[in-house]
Amino acid sequence: MPYIRIWVHLVWATKHRERTLHPNFRHELFCHIRENAKLKNIFLDCVNGSDDHLHDLISLGSEQNISKVVQLLKGESSHWVNKQKRLKGKFEWQDDYFAVSVSESGVNAVRKYIRNQEAHHKIKKFEEEHKEFIEKYGFEVLMKD
């Protein structure tokens, strides 16, 4: 059995960054995402977010890749949200997402950052955070028509 520890900080937003993830529902969604991750053998260390996006800290297994893990988490969770029929209209996540590696020495800082999302976003809006991620990690922004 291989011994692997590849930490990844994932971030994705609701479609059009709609502010649909209200606190009580958001916490139910995060619990559901944790349960689904466990069923899919995805090691999800923590998940949290605000009303229009979420952050995950995962560790990839030997047979996993980021694209597939994100597809499993986003796809199943949006299906679950729609099945709950507690939001108006169809719920969707944006197609885009951030995925950045986290060193073992940085895991605790990322956990703390994720766990403090609600307080963090009282001070800083997601748009500002998004711009900082783009700049910090040197992502190229593609304009969509």
∠ CA 122-53-91 to the nearest 5 degrees? 130
Burial class (CB in 10 A: 0-12, 13-18, 19+), 39: exposed
**Rounded Cα gap, residues 143 and 96, in angstroms:** 12
pLDDT in tens, 34-45: 999 999 999 999
pTM of the model: 0.86
pLDDT in tens, 57-103: 999 999 999 999 999 999 999 999 999 988 888 999 999 999 999 99
Other C-beta atoms within 10 Å of 130: how many? 18
Residue ranges of domains in the chain, CATH in brackets: 6-137 (3.30.70.1290)
DSSP state of 140: P
Joined tokens for residue 57: 């800290």
CA 31 to centroid of chain Cα atoms: 13
